Structure formats: C-alpha cells, structure tokens
Structure 1
C-alpha cells in the first residue's frame, strides 16, 4: 500500500511519509527476510534468549478460580498482542513453576499459531501461562519488545506459513520457534526502533479509535431508526395499544404480538456430538461466524466432509432466507442464510419463518432489536458465559405487522440506511487501510527495510 493510497482516505499526513533506507545491505540467506542492514546480525531466536521454548502448565478447567494467579491461555491473547479483559485464575501453588517475569515473551503454538504476548508485571499483575503457549526469556542485550515486535512482521508470517503443520488445527512446536531466524540490531538501535514504533503506532491507533467512535455513533443512529420502524411502524398518528410485554411498550393497534417459535414452520437445533472436521468440504457455520445481521465466513474456517453432511444436518437442510440465531458465545447474534452449501454447528438454531406472517429481513431486524435481545437476556443463564436453552425460546415474543406493512417498513429502512451504510463501508475501509499501514510500518522498521535512527529525537 502506497502513501498515496492511504492519503486518498484522509489519513493524517504526519503519519504517512517516505522513510529512507539504510546505506548498506547484505543478503540474510533467508528467503522471507531478503536483504537486511549490513551491520545487523542474523540469529536464531534461541540465541537471543537466556531461556528458550519453555512450555506452559496443563491445568484442568475444573481448577479455575476467580482469584489467585491469572492463567494466560492462547484464547486470552488478542490479535494485536493484548490480554483480553476477561480471563481465568488458578491457585498459585498449581503454577509456581510457570510464573512469568517482566519481559517474558509468549508465543502460541496451537490454534492461533504465532500470536504473541509481551508480559509486563506492573501492567498485568501475577500471571502464569498454559501449555499451548511457549515462553522465551530474552537476554540482557536484547530488548524484549523488539523480540515481540518481530512476531508482527510479514517475515514472521511467512515463516509460520512455511513451518506450520496444517491439520484441523495448525501447530508450530517450541523447537521450531527456537530455531526461527530473527534479526538483531545493536541494542541502542533496538531502543530507537521501539521508541519510533511506539510513537508512530500511537498516532495510527488514535486515528483508528476516532474512526471506531464515529462508526459506533453512526451504527447507534442506524439501529435507532430500525428499532423504531419495527416496533412503532411508519404512521406517527396510528392508534396504539399496550403490547403486554415490558420491553416493547405500546405498539400499533392492528399489530399482533406472537410467540416467536410459533411463527416458524421449521426449527432445527444442531446440538449433539461435535462433527469431525476436515481440511476441505462443506463449510461449517459456527456461532463464531454469525455476526449481527450477516455471516462472516472469515471469522472461522471449518469444514466437514460431504460424506458426513447429511448425517450432521439430519434435523433439516438450510434454505436461503432461513434465520440463524446463536444461543451462546455469543448470545443473540442473528443472520439470514445467504448460501445453501453450508453445515450448521452447535449453538446455532435455524428457523424457517411462516412466509404468510413474515418477511425474512423483518424478522432479522426484529430479533436484533433491543426489545427482543432484552427478552433473550432475561431468559438466559450462566455466570461466565450467558446462554439460552431451547426450552426458553417459546417464551420470546415478536411483533407481527401485516406482511404488506412489513414490506413498506423494509423499503423505508433501505432508503434511510442507504447513505449511512455507504459511510460505514467507507469508514471500515479506512480502518482497514490504517491497520494495513500500521502492520507494514512495523514490519519495515523491525526487518530493517527503513532506517529510523534519525527519528529518535523526532516529536
């Protein structure tokens, strides 16, 4: 991505600029690293560490507590290397040999392969780490954050692609990480590069956060418009009646309040044994793929074999326009089936609504509206993860205007949301460009493609 491409989306010009290269380079001898600054060392990761490739503790979930030492698992680390706010704890005596020290670097060896975390005792408090994470303790002449930042480079991504053992879950063991090729500039230069990236990425992150706030505000306004339309209708002077449902309030007199499940001509819950996953075949839509209004086929990519498909889907095959509703992790996300060559996983219930009562998109907007979501929350159970049992679904109510009026409401929503949707799409493209530039900048600085030594004193 060129600076011009980014500037086309109004990125702050102080962020986008042409960085100079080092005066002299040498061949690294590694295909995915290419040329590196002449005075940099090309090393194995293990040679940069006091201790290398230390596997974490295997602790049963039954030992998790709400106090004690935070127990870091691969799923607790975000894509950008932060810890998620929610986590689990274990008694210290169970993990006393796996306690982290400031500057330790953790790298995931399974599942989210290559995802890394830099431990800071002051920021994170007492922590231990789980078995699918590998620990590296950098030497005194190696800046831990420089080691961590290398895991964010394209070179490291290329290493993972070549090294990972692809099965149902990718794996890279500790030995392979330990023998991975790493770059080592002189220590003062490491400090300069890290300081430069801290400053520049902070600027980019501020722009991303600003865009996120803008998107949230726009989505709130969009949702308010939709919610009003599917609960009050189009006529501001229409006679109203009490719906009898706390979360709904008054509704147009001629609208019906119906039991949600009674409006479906088909309902299928795909709970049961977890299907065997394959490398290719029929796409398996899990709860992770269901978003608020759409199916994200990139969020999780799992497949089942064509041979097992009919057995897995024995409770009924999906059709275009069927409603998919998640019952747990996350609760209450919904989307319409937009392709029929899919299998459905646990925690996803499929509804085929009565076409004489509902337009599919009207049901989708209704299910995602606050009045329906609040009903689901009231019927849900669980301490750490909220979920709703299928037996509770008949208690949920949905508003049912005449189908002809639903079509008018949908036409209004389409008209009113056309411009906000375009603005949202553009804002999301801008965020994607910000993130792409951020990644490219880190990769270029940490692999020596740009020389930032003169930027150390820059404001």
Structure 2
C-alpha cells in the first residue's frame, strides 16, 4: 500500500477497532442505513397450508464476494410467506455463521433467480441509505470481520452472529460522490488482481492435470515404451505390460489379513471430550493429500486412550486412505519421522507386504485414474461419496514386480517433486494476491488510503 497516500486530516471514529477515519467521513450503525432480513428455517410444519416450492439459498451458496448458484435446492413454504422472505436485487447477502472463514462473508444479490428466498443462516441486508456495493465492500473488509468475530458466539471451529449484532455494526461512510469514485477505483484494481489469481489458479490446475497424467501412465504402462503388452480387460485402460500380474485384490497385498486393513474408531469409541492438545496424534481426512501426508490437525488423545485403540494405530510406512470425499479414496504414505498415531472413523489404514508392493507405489496407484475408477465403482453416496472398508479390500489391480515398482518410483518422484514445488510456489503467490486484495479493500473503505487522485 506504500504507493498510496493518506488523507490530509483524520478524526477519531469513536470505534476502538476502527481507529481514525478521514475528517469528513461519517460513522453510522448499520441499523440506520439498512434493514436486516432473517431467513426461513427448515423443518417447519406446513400441514394444511397453501404452500409453494421455491429456490432456497444456503450458506454454501454464499461465498466470499460471489454466489455459487450451480447447486441451489428448493423448499416448500406457505405462499403467504413468499413476499416476506423473497430476495430483492441489491440485497447484501451475509452468512450468519459456520466455520470461522464463513462468518459474515457474502455478496450482492442481483436477482439471478426469481423468486428466491434464503435460509435462516443467511442474512439479507437491504440498504436504505447507502449503495449495496459500498455496504458489501465494508462488511467484507478485515475491519468488519474483526467486529463479527468479537461479537460472535464461538465453539470449536464454529462461530455465529445474531441479526441484532449485525445491526450494531459501525459503518464508515464518505460523501456519496467520493464513495462512487472509491468503488470504481477499487473495482478496477481488484479486477486486475482477480485476473492474475484466475491465471495462476488455472496454471495450478494444469500442473495438477500433468501430475495426474504422469502418475497414471507410470502405474499402468511402466517406463519401457517397447515392452510387450497385453489387454488389461478394462476398456478405457487398454493394454498393460504383459509381465505384470493378473488383477489381484488389495487384500492379497496386505501384510496380514487380520490387522493390515482397519477403520478408525467410531464416534462412540472416540469422544470429542477425549481429544486433547497433546499426546498421541489423531489423523484426519484433511491431513491426507494426493501429493503427500501433511499434518494440519493438531488433535491428540492420551497414551492410555491410544492403547485402547491400538487396533487402528498408524506407523511410518502405512498407507492412509480417506473413506469419504469428492472423490473418496485419496491415499498417502504416513512418513518417516512421524510419531505413531491413530486414524479417525473416516480414514482407513493399509499396511502392505513390502515384499510385494512398495507403500509409495501403492499410494500412487490408488491416486491414479486407474485407482479412482476402481474406487468409483464401489463408492456410495450419502451426504458425500463414501467407500466402505469391505469393498475397498476387494478392489483388484494389475501391478508390476516390486523391483520395477522401485524403478518407477525412482524415475517419477523427482518429476513429481518439481511439479509439487511449482504448485506450492504458485499457490503461495495466489494467497499473497488475495491478501493484497483484501488489504486494499479494507484500507479503501476505512479511509486508511486516499484514492481520490489515484490514476
């Protein structure tokens, strides 16, 4: 922000977290410049009433700065309630809560679906004395987020804010002409940043596709382009090297049938109250990436509890696999140097017989298009796609001899490491661009920088 100058004169806003604002700006509570409309709660008894089925926005539809309308569900409400709850163009949609990053995030409704209502976890803020674009920019700023977090009810990883607290939000307001100018300048700059983010995000997608193609080709065709081939029996897969095995089940590749394949403990076996800040680590789905295992969960159980759940322990060299997701069945090798842990109920552990298969090759095979196709054939849909342990054990794969697996890994892993490093570097630059975007909006709508003479 060093290229922008400050306003000539400031005054105390009277709001501690907002600090100083330009001398000629005003501070008004949201309730004086907008109305807050709460939404419809699901599960109401409408028996005997004249109802109508209408589209219904949920928290998942209201993203940070845009609306995701590819999956809009419907709900039945009394016809007489439609006018009360219908969205109007210019409404600023804001999430009441959820994960911390969802609190207060939103976008301006432009009348994309008519009619449309919103659930009770989404607020429709209807401006009466301020442009929707300004209100949306201010409520999405870091300053407003600080206010929301300070007023929210919080529990483990979740937060929610009431409509009464939303209405008390202090909003910084420049004169109308200046407000329009600032919005135009911010829109121009954020559009440039968004274009860069989109370009870099697409580059990451292309790298990910290249990575996937390299893996799939290596684990289904091998390294020798001149090797004699045979029909795989899978139409889309085509031929595989002739000397590779006939399709064999994962169960036959396990170190021992009894203990190699396990689920994590069910909820009744591992209670939330038993989770701790230190002890034996618990492995969650979010720790499992197709590129590698990366612990992002800092959740533990006591050594005594871990001993009770020893049947689902994880050691370095074990393959851990997600049971749910889109797609399910993402695999990673639990790396050397990690202490013994336990898996949750949505994670499977596979301990392979290293005389037959290398753990890294097994993870790569499961993550390949070949593996994903096989897993998709036994996945079932509940709230998310899920694969059961019994079905997973029976999946069959054609694999090379273990010596050839090691050769494939030796050839492939350096290339994958280069791709992963480039993806990480690009992802970091995307994060920095998004942070710059957020900082620019915050500085503009709180008067920290003077854009009136910006070119």
TM-score, normalised to structure 1's length?
0.83
* Segment drifting more, 240-249 vs 309-318: 309-318
Moved more, 112-121 or 270-279: 270-279
Decide which moves more: 67-76 or 421-430: 67-76
Report deviation, 1:369.
0.7
Q: How does 1:8-27 map to 2 (within 5 A)?
A: 18-27=3-12
Pair 349,307 (structure 1): closer, same or farther in 2 beyond 3 Å: same
Q: Aligned pairs, how many? A: 433
SS at the partner of 2:330? strand
Whether the 8 Å CA contact 2:315–2:341 is kept in 1: the answer is no
| Structure 2 partner of 1:361 | 360
Q: 1:29 to 1:214 in 2, by over 3 A?
A: same
- Which of 20, 23, 29 is residue 38 of structure 1 equivalent to? 23
Tell me the residue number matched to 1:57.
Answer: 40
Distance 1:321 1:29, change over 3 A: farther
Aligned CA distance change for structure 1 residues 285 and 196 (closer, same or farther; 3 Å): farther
Q: CA deviation at 1:365?
A: 1.2
1:109 matched to which residue of 2?
A: 96
**8 Å contact 2:291–2:420 — kept in the other structure?**
no
Separation in 1, partners of 2:44, 2:309: 31
Residue range with higher mean Cα deviation, 240-249 or 270-279 = 270-279
Query: Which residue of 1 is the match for residue 141 of structure 2?
Result: 153
**What is the aligned partner in structure 2 of residue 260 from structure 1?**
250
CA-based RMSD of the aligned residues comes to 3.1
Match of 1:438 in 2: 437
The answer to whether 1:292 aligns with 2:290 is yes
For residues 27 and 58 of structure 1, the distance between their equivalents in structure 2, rounded to whole angstroms, comes to 41
Superposition pairs of residues 53-132 of structure 1, within 5 angstroms:
54-60=37-43, 68-83=53-68, 85-93=70-78, 96=82, 97-113=84-100, 114-132=103-121
Q: 1:317-336, aligned counterparts within 5 Å?
A: 317-330=313-326, 331-336=328-333
Does the Cα contact within 8 Å between 1:247 and 1:375 map onto a contact in 2?
A: no
Q: Is the 8 A contact 2:318 2:352 kept in 1?
A: yes
Q: Which residue of 1 aligns with 2:49?
A: none
Q: 1:174 aligns with which of 159, 163, 167?
A: 163
Say if 1:251 and 1:327 are closer, same or farther in 2 by CA, change over 3 A. Answer: same
- CA separation in 2, counterparts of 1:261 and 1:61? 48
d(CA) in 1 for partners of 2:305 and 2:123? 37
Q: C-alpha distance in 2, partners of 1:258/1:382?
A: 26
Determine the C-alpha separation between the residues in 1 that align with 2:29 and 2:301. Answer: 40
CA contact (8 A) 1:43 1:182 kept: yes
Summarize deviations over 1:8-64 as a string: whole Å, max 9, x none: xxxxxxxxxx12222211122333222111111122222221x23x4322114999x
Q: Deviations over 1:288-347 (max 9, x none)?
A: 55333345655xx68465489549946411222322222333223233334446553343
- Cα deviation 1:218-270 (Å, max 9, x = unaligned): 22223222222111212222222223334433222222232123322311223
